[in-house]
Amino acid sequence: MAEMNFGGVIENVVTPKEFSLEKAREVLAGETIAVLGYGVQGPGQACNLRDNGFNVIVGQREGATYDKAVKDGWVPGETLFSIEEAAEKGTIVCMLLSDAAQIAVWPRIEKFMTDGKALYFSHGFGINWSDRTGIVPAAGVDVIMVAPKGSGTSLRTMFLEGRGVNASYAVHQDATGKALERVLAFGIGIGSGYLFETTFEREAVSDLTGERGSLMGAIQGLFLAQYEVLRENGHTPSEAFNETVEELTQSLMPLFSAKGMDWMYANCSTTAQRGALDWMTPFHDAIKPVMYKLYESVKSGNEAQISIDSNSQPDYREKLNEELKALRESEMWRTAEVVRQLRPENA
């Protein structure tokens, strides 16, 4: 473990230099890692662990996702089981089901979480809001988390490219005295770029805030507002989309991702620099109260309860598909389909 200075704040980070893959294999030797769920994070984590030489099994109910697991090389009755069978066989049981599915499955697998086992998560939701989810592990169980800061698809793709997605890690309950080693070994095993320390509460709150904020909710709201203003003032769909989305994602984001916002500003026109510097403060001042409102809604558990209540409705999937269809069929994202086709690599 190494101390790193992040803008004047010292944090503990772990990389494969401090905690090698060989050490990870030693720590988890004799463990059976049972990955429950093969949807979002499951495939990437399970396949990366398998490729890195760990003993992995998958628990998934039959259906299309089960068939995908079979195509990925998991063998029914040998490395692919029902969720209950996998939970019983595993010594590290990984809850990589959706938050709603975790709530539904927990009563069926709780009895298999016996003393000495570890219960693993990649999101703090179920434990942080245990009063709402009902997920309360027994005192004899390690409760650990590695939360990759990227999708399961990215985790797998970057692993195959020889790179890693950064991830946070946390120990919520150390029953065996080896929870920290277990979680760090797991993080290295799935191919994390580096691991930084957190808690289940901080991860859950920051994750829900990010999803509703700059990662998804706020970015769509910002895109749509600018696109609408341009269109309402006579700009064509192509022009509005390029000035709102395409230039940002294809040109500018790679620059400030690699070099920082100051470098990106310094390498734009003087007109763009001046305008960006002048307008970033009004945008900040307008948006920050909304971010505070969002954060308090997450922190209080209100957003978690909305998610739980929504997912428990029998027609939730149907309503969700209607909302996603409306988003997909909006003029801005129909324009995006045409613009993507016109990119040089697709021409």
Q: Is residue 267 assigned to a domain? A: yes
Q: How does DSSP assign 205-264, residue by residue?
A: HHHHHHHHTTTTHHHHHHHHHHHHHHHHTT--HHHHHIIIIIHIIIIIHHHHHHH-HHHH
280 and 260 in one domain? yes
Task: Give residue 7's pLDDT.
Answer: 81
Residue-wise pLDDT for 160-176, tens only, equals: 999 999 999 999 999 99
- Name which of 214, 68, 55 is nearest 152 in CA terms: 68
Phi-psi region of 164 (alpha: psi -120 to 50; beta: other; left: phi over 0): beta
Report the number of distinct structural domains present in the chain.
Answer: 2
| Contacts of 226 by beta carbon, 8 Å cutoff, 6+ apart | 240, 243, 244
Whether 286 and 191 map to the same domain: the answer is: no
DSSP-assigned beta bridge partners for residue 145: 121, 170
The answer as to whether 69 is a domain residue is: yes
Quote the tokens at residue 71: 């195509």
The pair of three-digit structure tokens given for residue 106, joined into one six-digit string: 């927990």
Return the CATH number at 18: 3.40.50.720
Kindly state whether residue 147 falls inside one of the protein's structural domains. yes
The answer to whether 48 and 70 have CB atoms below 8 angstroms apart is no
Its pTM stands at 0.89
Distance CA 280, CA 253 (A): 16
What is the structure's pLDDT at 43?
Answer: 95
Is the pLDDT score of 4 beyond 80? no
**Is the pLDDT reported for residue 347 higher than 80?**
no
pLDDT of 291-331, one tens digit each?
Answer: 999 999 999 999 999 999 998 899 998 999 999 999 999 99
CA distance 35 to 63: 17
Domain region containing 252: 211-342
* Nearest 10 degrees: Cα torsion 243, 248, 249, 252: 140
| In the predicted structure, residue 151 carries a pLDDT above the cut 90 | no
**Which tokens go with 1?**
């473990």
Residues 98, 226 within the same domain = no
The reply to whether 257 falls in a domain is yes
Question: In this structure, is residue 204 part of a structural domain?
Answer: no
Q: Give the number of other CB atoms < 10 A from CB of residue 285.
A: 9
Instruction: Report the C-alpha gap between 48 and 303 in whole angstroms.
Output: 32
* 159 lies in the same domain as 70: yes
Same domain, 217 and 285: yes
Are residue 47 and residue 183 in the same domain, yes or no?
A: yes
pLDDT at 191 over 90: yes
Whether residue 93 contacts residue 109, with contact meaning beta carbons closer than 8 Å, is answered with yes
Q: Which residues are catalytic?
A: 123
Average pLDDT in the chain: 94
Domain boundary among 154, 169, 199: 199
Question: Please, what sign has the CA dihedral across residues 111, 115, 116, 122?
Answer: positive
Q: Of the residues 165, 199, 233, which one is the last residue of a structural domain?
A: 199
For residue 340, is pLDDT > 80? yes
217 and 191 inside one domain: no
Strand 167-173's sheet: what is its strand order?
A: 2-6, 9-14, 195-197, 167-173, 142-148, 118-121, 92-95, 33-36, 56-59, 80-81
Query: Does residue 227 share a domain with residue 128?
Result: no
| Domain boundary pick from 199, 228, 249 | 199
Q: pLDDT at residue 193 above 90?
A: no
Please check whether residues 126 and 38 belong to one and the same domain.
yes
Q: What percentage of residues in the chain have a pLDDT greater than 90? A: 89
> Residue 272 — pLDDT band, cuts 50, 70, 90?
very high
| Nearest-angstrom CA–CA distance, 143 and 50 | 22
In a domain, 264, yes or no: yes
Q: Does residue 87 sit in the same domain as residue 232?
A: no
Q: What is the DSSP letter of 231?
A: H
Q: Is 103 part of a structural domain of the chain?
A: yes
Q: Is residue 9 in a domain?
A: yes
| pLDDT number for residue 312 | 86
CA gap 171, 182 in Å, rounded: 10
Three-class HEC string of 151-193? CHHHHHHHHHCCCCCCEEEEEEECCCCCHHHHHHHHHHHCCCC
Average pLDDT value for residue range 231-237: 97
State the amino acid at position 75 in one-letter form: V
Do residues 150 and 55 share a domain? yes
Cα 93 from Cα 73, distance rounded (Å): 20
Closest CA to 188 of 158, 146, 144: 146
pLDDT for 42 equals 95
165 shares a domain with 47: yes
**Model pLDDT for residues 75-127, shown as the tens digit of each residue:** 999 999 999 999 999 999 999 999 999 999 999 999 999 999 999 999 999 99
Whether 177 has a pLDDT exceeding 90, the answer reads yes
State how far the alpha carbon of 69 is from the alpha carbons of 66, 80, 147, in Å.
5, 8, 22
